Structure 1
Amino acid sequence: MALREENFVVLHSGSWNIKAGINFTDCNKPPTLTIRSEVGARTVVPEPTPEASEEETPAEAVETTATTPAADKFDGAESTEIKVEKLEQDGGETSEDTQEQAKEQDSNKPQTVYYCGSALTEALQQHPESEVTVSTPIQDGIVKDWAAMEALWRHVLFRELGIKRSRNASPVLMVVPSDWTKEEHERITQIFFENFNVPGLYLAEEPLMTIYGCGTVSGLVIDIGHTRTTITPIIETQIQRHAIVSIPIAGSDFDDYLLQLLKADAQLVREYGEPLDLEFARYLKESGVCQVLGRDEKENKNRAQAEYNGKKFTVGSARYKAYNPLFNADLVGKRVLNLVEAIHASQLACKGEKRQQLWEAMVITGGSCQIKGLQSRIQGEIEDSLTVSENFGEYQVREVKFLKVPDYFPALKDSIVHAGFLGSEIVAKLIFPDPRNYINKVDYNESGPSVVHTKTF
């Protein structure tokens, strides 16, 4: 089957949000869709069907039975087949009767319904809060709930992007973190081919896509996410896995720390008049009121005007301090490296003759990278800790530079947070026209999920 460019899909899954896009005839555009990585789960117990309507029961059950976790389907697939095989060996009518009884028992078992995106909002309005359990499938960069993760992917592909499963002609480039294991890669491959019926799949590593989006093949990617910050060196398209450093300081810590500072601002508390919560702090952090001061900048003593939920108030010096835990982990009670120490640790693990190449091609990305002044502060902290010289030397650091999206992508050049998505779009356009470059259905049918280790990256 020939794959058409307008059907290519790029999918980024993160702890905080999931980004997706389709139709990359023009790469100069942001993701088609960005939604929170939240999934609601509700357990439904089917009502017993009266004997009078016994013949209608199977048809009605197909229409009304809630979605069951795909992960359970995979784990139970083999055991189900074995059970049927044994029944067939027992022979004839007994086998058929027993299968019907098994189906009836399954239809009476509690089922789990999953809600994502706008459907989750509606479910929380329609059902009591105690009935809908909301969670994030990815926690600390690892998939903790595969059934919920699949429900989220299913929602994005079939509801948000409008793809038809039965005649799916959309290959998927799935962007994954560098530390996901072989088992996780295999599980993704199985889900997408067996449950989503994709014609093709390619797994791409997130830091590498970010570097490509900045128009280069070497660099140091600093990804400041929701629960962790990861520093990944890349040299000539090769991720230096031994030199990856991850610290548990990220967006959620900034929110918590900022909330503490805001609660200590008596004037703000009085002006707002209601209890302050994490949503308030997060909104303020992302509203443009907050910023990170560079090493030579001083605080503006005047209070800044802000508004939230129709209430107006002023914010004091707390607006300059939200990101301080990134440079001093003790502020949030964590005994870990700060960002600059982590960058040095990552650099020192690379070959000496390659370090200058990395210092001159640094990228700050991730959902928490967009606050004003962050790059300037990081650059200042690094330069203060380095012996920078204009003299030529193989190991001498001459300059610290940061990359950005090239100017020939005008719609994205000021959005470094979309660099990884741009790199993914470019890679999708390069690999999907040629079946040798990605996993297709023939490959999967021949080798199963393990094919992901030989036909990807």
Structure 2
Amino acid sequence: MALKEENFVVLHSGSWSTKAGINVIDTNKPPSVTIRSLVGARTVSHEPMDETPADTTESTEKDKADSSQREGSDGTEIKVENSEDENTTMAAAATEDSQDKQGDQTKEQDSDKPQTVYYCGSALTEAMQQYPESELSVSTPIQDGIVKDWAAMEALWQVTSHSRTTITERHVLFRELGIKRSRNASPVLMVVPSEWTKEEHERITQIFFENFNVPGLYLAEESLMILYGCGAITGLVIDIGHNSTEITPIIDTQIQRNATQSIPIAGADFDAYFLEQLKNDTQLVREYGQPLDLEFARFLKESDVCRILTPEEKESKARVEVEYNGKKLTVGAARYKAIEPLFNPDFVGKRVFTLIDAVHAALFSCKAEKRPSLWEAIIITGGLQGRIQYEIEKSLVISENFGEFQTRDVKFLKVPDYFPTLKDSIVHAGFLGAEIVAKLIFPDPRNYINKVDYNEGGPSVVHTKTF
């Protein structure tokens, strides 16, 4: 089966958000789907056919239409398969169930067992309004960079599995992107963190082939995709995530794993520390009128109110006005302090490398003759370039007599200008790089894992056709 570029899917799940997109003909666009990596789970005694949120019901009605189309948020027209095929699949599934050794009586007994319903995206928002906290458990499947709940992770990836013990609200692949499992013609390039293990790679491979029925799969490491998105094959990637910050040297497309550094300070620490600084702003606390929370701190951190200064710049004593939930508030000097834990981990009670120490540790673990090219190709995904550049340059020891391998200059990369929509969005560099790689690998079956490969080698085939 020839795979078409309009069907290629790029999927990236992180501990904070999940991004996805279909159709890589035009790569100069952000992901068509971006949702929080949160999954709600609720245990019920039977399949809740009458408790499905409204948007899911609407989606089901659309799926039943004989011929219909969906349009992605980026304007891409996504076709929906005829219900005839879906009915055939359901009939086949019914036949298999009828042949089950346990028989009809066992099925009835299984249907009475507690089942778990998973909610993601807009369905989760509705479920949180509909059910009390005692009934609905909300968490992120990825914690500390590792998948802790595979069932929830599978739900987030939009499985339409209706097993006897678990019911999942179909989401990213089958709902947001409008893909039909029964006739899935969309190969998936999955962006994964560098620290994920072989076992996790095999688990992903098994899920996508056996549960999602994909025609092809390719796993690509996040740091390498970020580098490609900036039009380079050698560089130092500083990826500031939600739970950790990864510093990855890459030389001629090869990740230097022995030199990679990770520090457990990132967005979650910024939010917690920033919240404490805001609580010390008595005028803000008085204006807010209720206890400040993480959502408010995160809102300020991501707004124009929060600024990142270099030590040479002076803080303004003027208070800045901001509107939050219809209420006008003023913020003082605390707005400059959100990311300080990155340069002084003691602020959040952690005895680890500072970011600058970790950068030096990564660079000096590489061969001396390769270091200058890494210093001249630094990528930062958190929008903190000004402050980090200042700290790095201040830490370099430059003598009047240059040695052969002494750093002469520090340069930073960004998304190339020939991607006008993304050139100022370094946060999408990894997604852009993944789309470019998808265009290169999926036309040739030798480059990715296809169904024949999986049927012959099983999940372990991922170690022979990836990266």
TM-score of the two chains, using structure 1 as the length reference:
0.87
Separation in structure 2 between the aligned mates of residue 320 and residue 382 of structure 1, nearest angstrom: 19
1:439 matches 2:443: no
Separation in structure 1 between the aligned mates of residue 299 and residue 400 of structure 2, nearest angstrom: 43
Contact 1:8/1:170 (8 A) holds in 2: yes
Separation in structure 2 between the aligned mates of residue 394 and residue 110 of structure 1, nearest angstrom: 68
Shift of 1:26: 0.6
Residue identity opposite 2:350 in structure 1: K
The match for 1:121 among 122, 125, 134 is 125
CA pair 389-23 structure 1, distance change in 2 beyond 3 A: farther
Contact 1:389/1:397 (8 A) holds in 2: no
Deviations 1:314-358 (A, max 9, x none): 111100011010000001111111100010111111111111111
Separation in structure 2 between the aligned mates of residue 427 and residue 345 of structure 1, nearest angstrom: 30
How is 1:59-74 mapped onto 2 (pairs within 5 angstroms)?
A: none
Counterpart in the other structure of 1:8: 8
Alpha-carbon RMSD across the aligned residues, in angstroms, is: 1.7
TM-score of the two chains, using structure 2 as the length reference:
0.85
Counterpart in the other structure of 2:367: 351
1:106 matches 2:122: no
Deviations 1:55-78 (A, max 9, x none): xxxxxxxx9xxxxxxxxxxxxxxx
- Bigger Cα Rg: 1
Residue identity opposite 1:343 in structure 2: V
Deviates more, 1:381-390 or 1:267-276: 381-390
Deviations 1:376-424 (A, max 9, x none): 1111111111123686533100011110000000000000111101100
The match for 1:130 among 125, 128, 134 is 134
Separation in structure 1 between the aligned mates of residue 412 and residue 271 of structure 2, nearest angstrom: 26
Deviates more, 1:194-203 or 1:119-128: 119-128
Deviates more, 1:11-20 or 1:387-396: 387-396
Residue identity opposite 2:323 in structure 1: E
Counterpart in the other structure of 2:460: 450
Counterpart in the other structure of 2:143: 139
Contact 1:43/1:113 (8 A) holds in 2: yes
> 4+ residue runs of structure 1 moved beyond 4 angstroms?
389-392
Counterpart in the other structure of 2:54: none
The match for 1:175 among 181, 191, 195 is 191
Separation in structure 2 between the aligned mates of residue 174 and residue 394 of structure 1, nearest angstrom: 41
Structure with the higher helix share, 1 or 2: 1
Counterpart in the other structure of 2:388: 378
Deviations 1:145-197 (A, max 9, x none): 00000000011000000000000000000000011100000000000000000
* Matched residue SS, 1:242: coil
* Matched residue SS, 1:336: coil
CA pair 116-398 structure 1, distance change in 2 beyond 3 A: same
1:306 matches 2:310: no
Separation in structure 2 between the aligned mates of residue 403 and residue 131 of structure 1, nearest angstrom: 47
Shift of 1:259: 0.5
Residue identity opposite 2:151 in structure 1: A
Counterpart in the other structure of 2:162: none
Deviations 1:61-115 (A, max 9, x none): xx9xxxxxxxxxxxxxxxxxxxx9xxx9xxxxxx96x533322221111000000
Residue identity opposite 1:236 in structure 2: D
Residue identity opposite 2:194 in structure 1: S
Residue identity opposite 2:459 in structure 1: P
- Which structure 1 segments of 5+ residues have no match? 48-62, 64-83, 89-94
Contact 1:432/1:438 (8 A) holds in 2: yes
The match for 1:318 among 334, 343, 346 is 334
Separation in structure 2 between the aligned mates of residue 413 and residue 19 of structure 1, nearest angstrom: 18
Separation in structure 1 between the aligned mates of residue 404 and residue 456 of structure 2, nearest angstrom: 50
How is 1:94-243 mapped onto 2 (pairs within 5 angstroms)?
A: 98-154=102-158, 155-243=171-259
Separation in structure 1 between the aligned mates of residue 223 and residue 248 of structure 2, nearest angstrom: 7
Separation in structure 2 between the aligned mates of residue 421 and residue 100 of structure 1, nearest angstrom: 47
Separation in structure 2 between the aligned mates of residue 166 and residue 106 of structure 1, nearest angstrom: 25
Identity of aligned residues (%): 77
* Matched residue SS, 2:258: helix
* Matched residue SS, 1:243: coil
| Equivalences, count | 407
